């Protein structure tokens, strides 16, 4: 059985039966059957259904947001925003898929015509995380379905209720009954059954959002099966604050990027790399902001920081903080597990961090800010790149050209100037190095899960 637990109260919310190999195979076969029909459905009809799905998400946003908050502890207002963002990505691909997948023509030698078409792969297996239980799914599923594919989702066990709710939404919108399906697998059986699903001949590709370790394991299985994979993995995003930055803006954006979803995001601000000339002011302002953030019940409108999603994740985060302090980091606030029920961890700042301290090199998945002081732009770039990760980044400066010159040197998938990193349907999203490969969103995301087929037409 799978049990879902409210991380704010530690109460058991629900229990779900896990699925056997034979049950999963039956689901895959039914989804493949619906895919064979769906691939022939016109883009106009796909658009109509995707628009209907977007409207359902908007109409039911409070209901689904409450489920997200109960299952993984996200403050309710943030959960509502997550559901609304899912409606946006559905609308975006409903409106743009025809353009992104329009056949491309060219003239070849001798008057022959070249045509490139974008055809569906088949079934795309999505292995999804708990931290944005709706958004992560819709981010990959909306474009994949508009491209004509079918979807199988293996979601995180602690958000099984959200997984079931998403499946119901696709059916309610009018999509074929089995075109989007979820399978329920306990943590201790994930390796075996994910390998079974990847090897299934009906599964054409895999999309993974999760830890680097999980991505490496799935990529190994996919590579062995010669299946396409897109990996959106961990991150240790650097936020560089230069000596000419607007400090009020920088602290506002940096703190928001560290506290959003209680710091449980691959693109959360993880390392604040600050010029020595403004470090003292930045540190004081950030300390005031982090100490003022209200932690507590996700359903309380005044709360900005909810619980960590699971007790083991909180223990891991606290161990990173404790080791870092023992290694010489200065604890400015937080850093202690509070008494009482719930998996809460307070906003925490570690200053004086340098190479050799745990939080310098390890990804922290919680509201822990790491302060690293640098003397100049060159050192800022060196430290920003001194990580196995390469997902997002930000640069704060009053000089856009200076900020862009630094951004060009960062080994990352995206960089925001004077703002916090966010995924946006209009921009490609993904990383380099151990943060993964491939891209989601924009025109690039929808073309990840298609067969790019070339035609040469001679005569006629």
Active-site amino acid positions? 232, 266
Comparing CA positions, the residue from 357, 365, 348 lying closest to residue 293 is 348
Burial class (CB in 10 A: 0-12, 13-18, 19+), 325: middle
Distance CA 177, CA 145 (A): 13
Comparing CA positions, the residue from 54, 76, 56 lying closest to residue 66 is 76
Q: Measuring CA to CA, how many Å separate 210 from each of 95, 154, 198, 269?
A: 29, 12, 17, 17
Count of other CB atoms within 10 angstroms of residue 26: 13
3-state SS of 275-334 is EHHHHHHHHHHHHHHHHHCCECCCCCCCCCECCCCCHHHHHHHHHHHHHHHHCCCEEEEC
Sheet holding 330-333, edge to edge: 330-333, 348-351, 368-374, 269-275, 237-241, 394-396, 416-417
DSSP per-residue string spanning 143-196: HHHHTT-EEEEE--GGGHHHHHHHHHHHHHHT--TTTEEEE---GGGHHHHHHH
Q: Give per-residue burial for 214-229: e unless 16+ CB within 10 Å, then b.
A: bbebbbebbeeeebbb
Distance CA 233, CA 235 (A): 7
* Sign of torsion over alpha carbons 156, 182, 145, 43: negative
């Amino acid at each position: 059985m799978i049990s879902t637990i409210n991380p704010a109260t530690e109460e058991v919310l629900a229990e779900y039966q896990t699925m056997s190999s034979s049950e999963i195979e039956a689901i895959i076969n039914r989804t493949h059957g619906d895919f064979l029909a769906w691939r022939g459905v016109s883009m106009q009809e796909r658009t109509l259904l995707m628009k209907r799905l977007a409207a359902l998400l908007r109409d039911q946003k409070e209901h689904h947001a409450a489920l997200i908050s109960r299952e993984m502890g996200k403050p309710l207002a943030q959960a509502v925003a997550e559901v609304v963002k899912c409606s946006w990505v559905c609308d975006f691909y409903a409106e743009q898929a025809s353009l992104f997948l329009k056949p491309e023509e060219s003239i070849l030698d001798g008057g022959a015509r070249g045509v490139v078409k974008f055809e569906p792969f088949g079934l795309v297996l999505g292995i999804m995380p708990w931290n944005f239980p709706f958004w992560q799914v819709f981010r990959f599923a909306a474009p994949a379905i508009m491209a004509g594919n079918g979807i199988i989702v293996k979601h995180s066990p602690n958000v099984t209720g959200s997984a079931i709710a998403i499946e119901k939404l696709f059916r309610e919108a009018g999509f074929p009954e089995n075109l989007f399906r979820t399978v329920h697998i306990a943590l201790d059986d994930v390796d075996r059954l994910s390998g079974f699903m990847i090897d299934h001949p009906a599964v054409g590709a895999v999309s993974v959002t999760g830890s680097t370790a999980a991505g490496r394991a799935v990529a190994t299985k996919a590579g062995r099966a010669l299946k396409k994979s897109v990996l959106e993995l961990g991150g240790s995003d650097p936020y560089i604050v230069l000596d000419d930055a607007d400090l009020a803006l920088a602290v506002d954006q940096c703190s928001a990027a560290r506290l959003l979803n209680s710091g449980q995001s691959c693109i959360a601000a993880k390392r604040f790399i600050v010029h020595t000339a403004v470090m003292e002011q930045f540190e004081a302002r950030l300390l005031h902001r982090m100490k003022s953030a209200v932690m507590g019940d996700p359903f309380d409108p005044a709360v900005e920081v909810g619980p960590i999603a699971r007790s083991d994740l909180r223990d891991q985060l606290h161990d990173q903080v404790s080791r870092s302090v023992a290694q010489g980091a200065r604890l400015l606030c937080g850093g202690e597990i509070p008494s009482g029920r719930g998996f809460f961890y307070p906003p925490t700042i570690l200053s004086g961090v340098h190479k050799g301290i745990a939080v310098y090199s390890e990804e922290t998945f919680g509201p822990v800010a790491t302060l690293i002081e640098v003397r100049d732009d060159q050192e800022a770039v060196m430290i920003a790149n001194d990580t196995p990760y390469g997902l997002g980044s930000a640069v704060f400066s009053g000089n856009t050209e200076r900020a862009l010159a630094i951004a060009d040197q960062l080994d990352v998938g995206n960089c925001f100037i004077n703002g916090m990193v966010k995924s946006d349907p209009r921009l490609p999203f993904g990383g380099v190095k151990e943060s993964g490969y491939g891209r989601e969103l924009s025109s690039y995301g929808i073309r990840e899960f298609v067969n790019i087929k070339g035609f040469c037409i001679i005569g006629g």
